[in-house]
Amino acid sequence: MLQIKNLTVKVNDKIIINNLNLDLATCEIHALMGQNGTGKSTLCRVIMHDPEYEVTSGEILFNGKDLVKLNTTEIAREGVFMLSQSPIAIEGVSNAEMLRTALSEKSNSPINIFKFNQKMEEICDKLALSHDFIHREVNVGMSGGERKKNELLHLWMLEPSFILLDEMDSGLDVDALKIVAESIGEYYQKYKPTILIITHHNKLLELLEPKYVYIMKKGEIVASGDKSLAEKIEDEGFKAFNISGLGNNE
């Protein structure tokens, strides 16, 4: 179980997350929905401990540790992985260099280069990425769709146990969305990680079938249920839950 207890988060003295409580059963797929500006991306960044956000109270318990007290590197080593809404580019560092370093740090031993290359190639093939991507600089000069696939290459190599997908579907065409969703579905079947999907679209949820769906408004969870909740929102909008107000900018 990943437990978020009484979490309150401020940025520039403004409360963005307000006493939020959320329990995520491990090895299940969860979806978080809500209008723009309600704090969904902030929640992801806080789980990864972005120092820009000030946690004024609460804890985020994962594997018995409070992530609020760990730095981003330590959180990543715990097996938490975020596919962000807009993955950043890192000039001068190739995918292979970054992943080799991360994996050898994680296992505390040098990695087998032959096996590493073989696995990189297999994953590139699965994602319909050319093998050139192995030595490309991280996300540099890549299209939106390629960046998302490139992040998936990282995910398959690092084998995280808790995955945050923040609007992974944004900027993807139908075919790319299908490849990306199928790849995550396959990863889920193989490794049974806990997944939190943030999305506005039911399409991704139809492909990945979350067991639980939560609705966020103004930095709080205001409704939860099964995937029928997402279908209702797709059909009727957030009004259906009397939570039609906008986010924090309202």
Ligand X SMILES: Nc1ncnc2c1ncn2[C@@H]1O[C@H](COP(=O)(O)OP(=O)(O)O)[C@@H](O)[C@H]1O
16 binds ligand X (CB under 6 A): yes
150 binds ligand X (CB under 6 A): no
> Residue 164: which H helix or E strand, with range?
strand 162-166
DSSP 107-136: HTS---HHHHHHHHHHHHHHTT--GGGGGS
Question: Of the two residues 34 and 160, which places its CB atom closer to ligand X in the complex?
Answer: 34
100 contacts: CB under 8 Å, gap ≥ 6: 111, 113, 116
Question: Of the two residues 43 and 152, which places its CB atom closer to ligand X in the complex?
Answer: 43
84 binds ligand X (CB under 6 A): no
Question: Of the two residues 38 and 95, which places its CB atom closer to Mg ion in the complex?
Answer: 38
Question: Of the two residues 123 and 168, which places its CB atom closer to Mg ion in the complex?
Answer: 168
Residue type, 41: S
Task: Please tell me the count of residues contacting ligand X according to CB under 6 A.
Answer: 15
Q: Which residue has the tokens 């990863």?
A: 187
Report yes or no: 199 and 33 within 8 Å, Cβ to Cβ: yes
Provide, rounded to whole angstroms, the least separation between the CB of residue 243 and ligand X. 13
Question: Of the two residues 187 and 214, which places its CB atom closer to ligand X in the complex?
Answer: 214
227 binds ligand X (CB under 6 A): no
Provide, rounded to whole angstroms, the least separation between the CB of residue 170 and Mg ion. 9
Distance CA(43)–CA(50), nearest Å, equals 10
Of 2, 4, 24, 6, residue with least CA distance to 15: 6
Q: Binding marks (x or -) toward ligand X, 25..54, rule CB under 6 A? A: ---------x-xxxxxxx---------x--
- Out of 5, 10, 11, 231, the only residue in the binding site for ligand X (CB under 6 A) is 11
